[in-house]
Chains A and B, each alone.
Chain A
C-alpha cells in the first residue's frame, strides 16, 4: 500500500543536539511538507518542497533544515538553534499543483528535548 512513513514515532534528545526526523513516501508525489504541531494547537508549516533539490521556507523555518535529494525522501533536521523543539512533527505529501488533491500525512514523530 502507498503511504508516508515517518520514523521514529517517539524521539528523545538532549538539549544542544541536532536530531533528524525521517520521512519517506511511495505515493510518487512531487510536493512534500513538514508541519509542527504544539499541544492543542493547529499545524504550522516549517518547510515544503515541490521538486528534488529545491525547497521553500514556511512560517517557522528558523532552527530547522531540510534536504530533498530524492523524490521519495524529505528528512527534517531540528538543530540546536531551535529554541523550543519539543513538539509533534507531521510530514505530508501531495501531487504537484492539483488543487483537488488532499495532503496525505504520515503518522507523525513526537520529539521531546530535555
Chain B
C-alpha cells in the first residue's frame, strides 16, 4: 500500500484565492511527522510546514496551514491568498517514528496560479 497518496495531479487557483492540496497517509506508528515541500521549476525542494502526530493544533506558517485530521489520516495543505510565485509542484511526505530514517513521498500536485 502507498504510504502517501496525493490524488490531485494538477490544480488551478485564481490569484488571491485559497487552495487546498490533498494528502492522505498510511501508517501504523503512533509517532510520525508529516511534511510539505514546494518544488519550483528551478528544481530545489523547499520545506514549507511540519505536523507531528501528537500535535493537537494544526500547524501554520505564514500563508501555509496544514489541515490535520488524524482519524482520517489526512494532512491537507492550505495556501491562503495565492500568489503567482506559488505556482510549483507540491509534495507531501511522512517520516515514521519507529523506523524514522526513511521518508515517504507522494507523487506530487502541480499548482498553477492564474492571474
Using a CB–CB distance below 8 Å, which chain A residues touch chain B? 31, 33, 40-43, 45, 48, 50, 88, 90, 92, 94, 96-105, 107-108, 110
Tell whether, in the assembled complex, residue B45 and residue A48 are in contact, meaning their CB atoms are under 8 Å apart. Answer: no
Assess A104 versus B47: contact at CB under 8 Å? Given A45-B102, A96-B101, A99-B97.
yes
Q: Identify which of B91, B103, B106 contacts A94 (C-beta below 8 A).
A: B103
Q: How many residues of B contact A (CB 8 A)?
A: 26
Interface positions, chain B 36-50, Cβ under 8 Å from A, are 37, 42-45, 47, 50
Minimum CB–CB distance from B29 to chain A (whole Å) comes to 8
Tell whether, in the assembled complex, residue A107 and residue B47 are in contact, meaning their CB atoms are under 8 Å apart. Answer: no
Does B31 reach chain A (CB closer than 8 Å)?
Answer: yes
> A52 vs B16: C-alpha distance in the bound complex, in angstroms?
48
Using a CB–CB distance below 8 Å, which chain B residues touch chain A? 31-33, 35, 37, 42-45, 47, 50, 52, 91, 93, 95-97, 100-103, 105-108, 110
Minimum CB–CB distance from A59 to chain B (whole Å) comes to 10
> A105 vs B44: C-alpha distance in the bound complex, in angstroms?
7
> A101 vs B34: C-alpha distance in the bound complex, in angstroms?
10
Tell whether, in the assembled complex, residue B35 and residue A103 are in contact, meaning their CB atoms are under 8 Å apart. Answer: yes
> A33 vs B102: C-alpha distance in the bound complex, in angstroms?
9
Tell whether, in the assembled complex, residue A108 and residue B102 are in contact, meaning their CB atoms are under 8 Å apart. Answer: no
